[in-house]
Structure 1
């Protein structure tokens, strides 16, 4: 497996649509080492304990009621790529349905771009809560990419089990958000579908994109707040080292991150966490969780910048 096989998979992209998803999966996996997935009983029990403890702590600290996803998997990188090819293809389907004749060269370029994205993410994602947006079922899933967790723990020179537990707490906070807000999946799907529909019509709907960005800022920011306040061990060194690692990436990694919009995601983390920290400091963590009562309780972009505006509106 390697670059040659990845290029060959992309070059052989076929079908009638703008992206050959089978070739995407083949190329991304050819360019990505799967990583070791030899998990002993003690380590498997460690993952299970981390997730259960995170659920207990997040429920108590966040004052939220939620259940864990039925699917909790320890994956290698190829497993993660396969799961997310399905997600990406589902999200892109409305655009693909609008596409008419697609030249072979364009299909190869599109397929190569998606393969590059999934290969990069497959090498870097540590854990993922997946609400399976735009799926036909209401199933949710929780993934841990073991080879990446082990590698990054070594790169950061931190104890692996504590790092794994920290990642588990972060992903369980996302399960808490979607569990506490049954409307959240539909809300995100509607915003995504509106934005995609406008793109297929040749329009850039800034309102839908803005609403999507604001909602994701709330999702990421609340997860950061709850992760820090529910975690039952020291985490300052973990956060500092992870931030330093992000800032110290080389030019190629930086370019790929920009292509994927990961710089925007970091802004969502930072802006959202600042908002929720301010709310929690003023009224408590339970008050911050009121954003999940209904879509109307989500902060606006102006309220994220000035949390007192949100507090005055929802809890005067």
Structure 2
């Protein structure tokens, strides 16, 4: 038995999520086929406007574009998480065994107990994936084992466009503009995917270095749950690049939090840049873009008290802040040095903004452009 088999069965996690997540809005077969066909068409239509607006081109290097249902999204992400995390989890488990045995290693526990542990972890992971699968409109899956790919979640697009009263053809293209920008970010800058995966792996490995200490920090931090669940005051502004990560905040050391803040600054850049591009393409391509932005922005914080609480626990409030903070940075830098000057950000790891620079775009311009 492999060491990681006692931790998570990723295939079972994907299957559990597929079983748990509701299928989406009721649609006839013809409506589903039309939706899928239009999303594929919109993904193609988004390529030229994004390239023209961003000054970046991905070509084939950005990976495939796939239209999926909620179950398909969950299974795809379970496979990606497994490819990323199995080596990290395996190394952490081996360190733990070596520590217990003075470096000599210990035999695997009883097979029945290992199977139960694996099944419980798969069910818990599947529950989380099921929740996320009902929320995500699209995703550039940079962690996919065979290279990046763009996923468009058809039932979620249909649900949201109906909920906000959007013109379907406009909304579908608008979503594709955002996701195509992510495909371009990584396709036009091949170093970025490897760097991003490396940063995530290093952070996970560090957090799993001492599981006992992480558990103690979690227990000690449970008293902060009321604060974590408490919604911010209307209009409250969290510092850029340092939005709450939800439950993960409870198990991090100060050093780990600093590293996560640095990674969050880059994620803010990616999300904010995609938001700016999708909006700046403008009404010549998406006639109702202003209406869509206003209505969609109003729903990003969650649709009800339970939904908002879960989002805060999972750190999804941080995701919302990333769009806002990153867009602010992109617009400020572009106003100073234009799109070509902004695109210097993609030159390599050394030109990515820090959390402090995300809050102070002029500091990034001074450092990179002199």
TM-score interval, smaller chain: 0.7 to 0.9
CA offset digits 1:132-177 (Å, max 9, x no partner): 35x3x4x221121111111111111111111111000000000111
1:286 aligns with 2:340: yes
Q: 2:47 aligns with which of 47, 55, 73?
A: 55
1:250/1:44 Cα in 2 relative to 1: closer, same or farther (>3 Å)? closer
Q: How does 1:66-81 map to 2 (within 5 A)?
A: 66-68=58-60, 69-81=62-74
Report whether the alignment pairs 1:187 with 2:195.
yes
2:274 counterpart (188, 212, 223)? 223
C-alpha distance after superposition, 1:97-139 (max 9, x if no partner): 1235677776555333311211111111111112235x3x4x2
Give distance in 2, aligned partners of 1:311 and 1:26.
Answer: 47
SS of structure 2 residue aligned to 1:143: strand
Residues 18 and 74 of structure 2 are in contact (CA less than 8 Å); yes or no, is this contact kept in structure 1? yes
Q: 1:45 to 1:31 in 2, by over 3 A?
A: closer
**Distance in 2 of aligned mates of 1:314 and 1:186:** 22
Deviation at 1:81, TM superposition (A): 1.2
**For 1:165 and 1:142, how far apart are their aligned partners in 2?**
14
Aligned residue in 2 for 1:151: 159
Correspondences of 1:32-51 after superposition (within 5 Å):
32-35=21-24, 38=29, 43=35, 45-51=37-43
Q: How far has the Cα of 1:248 moved from its partner?
A: 4.9
1:129 to 2:137 alignment: no
Work out whether residues 37 and 147 of structure 1, in 8 Å CA contact, stay in contact via their aligned partners in 2: no
Give the Å deviation of 1:273: 0.7
Counterpart-to-counterpart distance in 2, 1:125 and 1:90: 21
* Distance 1:127-1:18 versus aligned 2 partners, 3 A rule: same
List runs of 5+ in structure 2 lacking aligned partners. Answer: 98-108, 215-252
**Separation of aligned partners in 1, 2:30 and 2:354:** 44
Q: What does residue range 204-283 of structure 1 map to in structure 2 within 5 Å? A: 204=253, 205-231=256-282, 232-233=285-286, 234-283=288-337
Task: Give the alignment partner of residue 352 of structure 2, picking from 298, 302, 307.
Answer: 298
Q: Give the alignment's TM-score, normalised by structure 1.
A: 0.85
Q: Across the two proteins, how many residue pairs are aligned to each other?
A: 299
Deviation at 1:207, TM superposition (A): 4.2
Q: Give SS of 1:299's match.
A: coil
SS in 2 for 1:247: coil
Unaligned runs of 5+ in 1: 1-14
- 2:63, 2:183 within 8 Å by CA — same for their partners in 1? no
Note the alpha carbon deviations across 1:271-310, whole angstroms, 9 max, x for none. Answer: 1111111111222223222211121111111111111111
Larger radius of gyration: 2
Shift of 1:37: 8.5
- The Cα of 1:201 is off from its aligned counterpart by 0.9
Alpha-carbon contact 2:53-2:280 (below 8 Å) kept: yes
If the length of structure 2 is used for normalisation, what is the TM-score?
0.74
